[in-house]
Every structure is written in structure tokens, then in C-alpha cells.
Amino acid sequence: MGEKQLVILLSLVMFLMIIVTSMFYYFTNQKNSKDAIEIDSSVEQKEDGHFETQVISSNLMTPWSIVFYDDIPLISSRDTGQIYEINEDGTSRIVGTIDEVTHRGEGGLLGLTIHHTNLYAYYTTSIDNRVSRYSLSGERGSLSIRYQETILDGLPIASYHNGGRIAFGPDEMLYITVGDAGDTMSAQDLSVYNGKILRMTRNGEIPDDNPFENSLIYSYGHRNPQGITWDEAGVMYSSEFGQNQWDELNIIKAGGNYGWPIVEGMEENAEFELPVQQWQVSQASPSGMTYHDGTLFLANLRGTSLRTVSITDLSKSDTYFNEEYGRIRDVAIAPDGTLWFITNNTDGRGTPSPDDDRIISVSLNR
Ligand SMILES: [Ca+2]
């Protein structure tokens, strides 16, 4: 090979290398710019086991309940009585304030639920716990509520055990969890609402097919029932705060007696409905709960984690995000199929970080 041919060959090799290198950078940058579109760099992204999370909103005050009105997330603030909508940029806007709300201990503005264009709220006043209905109007960014009617008042109050979660079942009835308000034996007394799960029409009337005649009581013997949800088959589940030992996951049956204060947890006793699973209070303290695609998701306060229970084996559970976000108060499925949970480190029992409290979304695509 002559000198001239060698120069030509080397030039050809260098030319090919430049082409290959350019193509490599071109396609690499293509991929990066595509990622940059999908992942907003202002949003925290990380992997935890199977799940990818994003911080949706920060600096919320004692958020207690999260619900979606179409695709608009709404949050109750326990201590202020305010209801916020969460804007697309993560900021929040006050939709309305329930002036009657009197925060004391665990009481305040607690559970929310949506039924068509109505918002229902469970809250503590200076004299009772009550459930009122509000109409919703406006759009994202201009949503407002208007008071319609108090459909149930006179529920027991105390500094602790106020219950407070409300949800419509697949039967279009409104279910309400009521705590024992510290009067433990009253949970067994069918003449009072302490320690009960109630069932009523959307206007607060007693349904004809309730288990006890002329009574809103659906189940009893509860200490402080919290989250309620249903699977596709219509099976109703409830989480419940235990005393010092056992938190419970119960399947709720019409007329069932869940044992408090005679039994706590899975103590064998033929008189009572036993939980399907129990957890040590320090590992759980489950509040809000939701169901999606075969799995129950439970928000854990003292357990500082999100717990999952497969309905195919109700005796087992897994936990995620242990100690990562602190206390978790409520959990809900967003219209886009992601799971959202709210932290609760500003509720007086947590150690808030500068960003608390927060809404975290979790991608469930594993
Ligand atoms: Ca029980």
C-alpha cells in the first residue's frame, strides 16, 4: 500500500468515526430531550421498591382527607376548617371555610366525600360532630362551595376518637365512621352512635334495609373506625385504631358487632366479628383507606408507611415508604389511576419537615 492510499484509508476511517460519533450523540440527546418532556425537573422523582413517586404539593396545614371532584383534588384542613383545591402547579386555593369547625385534640374538619355535584363534610363543632352537605360550583381555579343542609348532628365529641371518615358505598348510601369518643362501653349500646359505622341516604334518612329498625347503625362495637372502602364484589372494609395493642382491618357486615371494648384485635370470641388482620399500634395506626385493582391501600400514621393488603390473602400485608414521608393520613386513587396520599406531620404528633405537609403521588404501573 502506497503512502497516498494509506492517507485515503485513514481519512475514510476518521470520516466514518465522526459519522458514528455524531449519530450516537444525536440519538442520545433525542432520548434525553424526550425524558425532559416527560419528567418535570421541578418535581421530585424517585424509586422506592416498585413505586415511582412525585411530590404534588407542599406546605399544607393539617390535611386530613383527600377526594377528587372530577379531576380536581380537594383537601380538608383539620385545624383551620378550610377546604382547598390543589392547582395543577401544586399550589392550593381555598374553596371554602366551614366556620363552625372547632379544632380540639383530634377533632376539626375531618372527612370529605363527593356525590355528583355535592360535597359532604364530617366536622367537629363546639357541641358535636356533624355531617353537612354543600353544593359545588365553578371550575378548576374558581371552585366554590355553598352550604345546603346539615344531614346529621349530635354525634359524640371528645378530644380523641372522633371517627370522621365518610364515603358513599356501591349501594349509593352514605357510610360514616363514628368513634367511641372515649366512652368505651357505649360502643356496645345500640341507643347511641358512639363506636359505630352508620348508613344513611344522601339526605340523612334511615334506609329501609338497615339492620336495626329505625336506626342509622350499620355495625357496632368499634373503638375508632377510620377508613372505609369497597371492592368490586361490594365487600366493605374498614380500618380501626386499637387501644394499646392491635389495630384492625375488618370486613364490615350489616348488624355486625366488632367487639370493642370487650375484645381488641383477633381475640377468639364467638360473640364478635374478628378482624381479618391486625397490626401493632406502633406499626400502623391506619386512617384513610382505598381500594384499587385487587389491593387495599392503608395510610399509616404511627407506622409512617403506606400498607397494601391483597384481597386474595387478607392475612398478609406489605409496607412501603417506611419513615420516608412521616405520618400518612389519607390515600385516594386519582382519576388518572395514580395513587395519592397525604402526609400528616403538622397534626401535633409528628415532626414536620420544612415542606410538610405534602401530597405525594405514586405510579402504580409496576
Ligand atoms: Ca374489633
pLDDT, tens digit, 9 for 90 and up, residues 223-251: 999 999 999 999 999 999 999 899 999 99
Ligand 1 geometric centre to CA of 325 (Å): 29
User: What is the SS3 assignment for 12?
Assistant: helix
pLDDT in tens, 107-166: 999 999 999 999 999 999 999 999 999 999 999 999 999 999 999 999 999 999 999 999
Count of C-beta atoms within a 10 Å radius of residue 173: 17
- Looking at the whole model, is its pTM more than 0.95? no
pLDDT number for residue 25: 54
Ligand 1 geometric centre to CA of 245 (Å): 11
Q: With bands split at pLDDT 50, 70 and 90, how would you rate the model's confidence at 14?
A: confident
pLDDT number for residue 50: 61
pLDDT number for residue 48: 47
Pick the closest to residue 111 from 102, 119, 123 (CA basis).
Answer: 123
Ligand 1 geometric centre to CA of 224 (Å): 10
pLDDT in tens, 257-281: 999 999 999 998 999 999 999 999 9
Q: With bands split at pLDDT 50, 70 and 90, how would you rate the model's confidence at 42?
A: very low
For the chain, how big is the Rg over CA atoms in Å?
Answer: 26
Per-residue pLDDT at 65 exceeds 80 = yes
In whole angstroms, give the CA distance from residue 71 to residue 228. 21
Ligand 1 geometric centre to CA of 110 (Å): 22
pLDDT number for residue 44: 34
Ligand 1 geometric centre to CA of 143 (Å): 40
- Grid cell of 217 as nine digits: 347503625
Ligand 1 geometric centre to CA of 270 (Å): 12
pLDDT number for residue 52: 87
pLDDT number for residue 214: 97
Ligand 1 geometric centre to CA of 256 (Å): 10
Q: With bands split at pLDDT 50, 70 and 90, how would you rate the model's confidence at 12?
A: confident
pLDDT in tens, 142-159: 999 999 999 999 999 999
Percent of the chain's residues with pLDDT above 90: 84
- Grid cell of 304 as nine digits: 409512617
Ligand 1 geometric centre to CA of 18 (Å): 73
Ligand 1 geometric centre to CA of 246 (Å): 9
Ligand 1 geometric centre to CA of 222 (Å): 6
Ligand 1 geometric centre to CA of 263 (Å): 6
Ligand 1 geometric centre to CA of 273 (Å): 7
Ligand 1 geometric centre to CA of 259 (Å): 5
Asked if 217 contacts 210 with a C-beta cutoff of 8 angstroms, the reply is yes
**Matching residue, cell 372502602:** 229
Ligand 1 geometric centre to CA of 30 (Å): 57
| Segment 176-191 mean pLDDT | 97
Ligand 1 geometric centre to CA of 255 (Å): 14
Per-residue pLDDT at 57 exceeds 50 = yes
Give, as one character, the DSSP assignment of residue 187.
Answer: G
Ligand 1 geometric centre to CA of 35 (Å): 49
- Grid cell of 49 as nine digits: 421498591
Ligand 1 geometric centre to CA of 275 (Å): 6
Domains parsed from the chain with CATH numbers: 64-336 (2.120.10.30)
Q: With bands split at pLDDT 50, 70 and 90, how would you rate the model's confidence at 36?
A: very low
Per-residue pLDDT at 39 exceeds 60 = no
Ligand 1 geometric centre to CA of 276 (Å): 10
Ligand 1 geometric centre to CA of 247 (Å): 8
Percent of the chain's residues with pLDDT above 70: 90
Ligand 1 geometric centre to CA of 62 (Å): 28
pLDDT number for residue 345: 97
Count of C-beta atoms within a 10 Å radius of residue 43: 12
Per-residue pLDDT at 27 exceeds 70 = no
pLDDT number for residue 21: 61
pLDDT in tens, 305-333: 999 999 999 999 999 999 999 999 999 99
Ligand 1 geometric centre to CA of 286 (Å): 14
pLDDT number for residue 366: 54
- How confident is the prediction for the chain on average, in pLDDT? 90
Ligand 1 geometric centre to CA of 340 (Å): 28
